[in-house]
Amino acid sequence: MTTKKFLITALTGLSFLLPAAAVTVDVDSLGNALNGWRKNRTASYSINSHPYLTYKPTVTPNPAGGIFVSTRVEHNPRFGKKMTSYIDLNYSAEGTLLTAQIKVMAGDLRLNTGAIARPALAPAPVEGQPAVDAEPWLNPTTQMVNELFAALDTEFAKLSKRDQDEKKDVFNRIFGKGYQTADLSSALRHNLNLLLGYTG
C-alpha cells in the first residue's frame, strides 16, 4: 500500500470516530450584526436610542456532546444603574436547542426565567384519525423562545405589582430615571435571535 493510500484509509477510519454533526457559533458574523467587535471583545450599539453592549459569547463543549453558549448584554444608561443580563443556551451535538435561560441583574435586583426546556414532540396521530395541522411557524425552538420571554415578562410583572403596592415607579426607583423608555426585553430578544441565527 502506498503512503498516499495509507493516509486516505487512515483518515477515512478516523472520520467514523468524529461526531456526525458539530454545532458551532459564527462569532464573527454575530459581531458584524451588532456593529462589530471591539478590542475589548464587546460590540456597542443602540436600540430605541438606548446604549447596549454585548460581549463575545463564551462557548464550551458539553460532556455528552453539543455546546453551552453564554453571552452578556449590558444596558448602560447615562443616568441610573447599569443592568446586566445573561443569555444561556444549551445545544445538542446536532445543533438542536435544548434549554434557554435569561438572568438579569441591576444592583441588588435579581431576575431569573429559569431554564426553559425544549417541548416534547407532538405524538403521532392515531391510525384512522386525521392529523392535527400545527402552525408551521410554531416549531419547538419558537415555542421555547416564546416561553422564555413570557417567563421574563412574569418576572418584571412581579416587580410591577410590588411597585403598585408602594405607589412608585419601579423602573425609576430601582434602575434610575429614563428606564421607562428602555425596552430590555426587545434588546434581549434581538440578541437571542442573532445568536440562534448564527449557531448551527
Residue 86 lies in a domain: yes
Backbone angles phi, psi at 197, to 5 degrees: -70, -30
- The parent domain of residue 95 ranges over 20-118+137-197
Predicted confidence at residue 168, as pLDDT, reads 44
The amino acid at residue 185 is S
Residue 149 lies in a domain: yes
pLDDT along the chain (200 residues), means of 10: 45 40 91 97 92 97 95 86 93 96 90 94 62 64 95 85 51 53 84 97
Report how far residue 50's alpha carbon sits from residue 190's, in angstroms, rounded to the nearest whole number: 14
Q: How many domains does the chain have?
A: 1
Residue 3 lies in a domain: no
CB 163 within 8 A of CB 67: no
Residue 127 lies in a domain: no
Residue 124 lies in a domain: no
Residue 125 lies in a domain: no
Residue 72 lies in a domain: yes
Say how many C-beta atoms besides its own lie within 10 A of residue 179's C-beta: 22
Predicted confidence at residue 11, as pLDDT, reads 39
3 state DSSP class of 110 = strand
Q: What one-character DSSP code corresponds to residue 79?
A: S
Residue 123 lies in a domain: no
Predicted confidence at residue 175, as pLDDT, reads 56
Q: What is the pTM of this model?
A: 0.77
Predicted confidence at residue 161, as pLDDT, reads 64
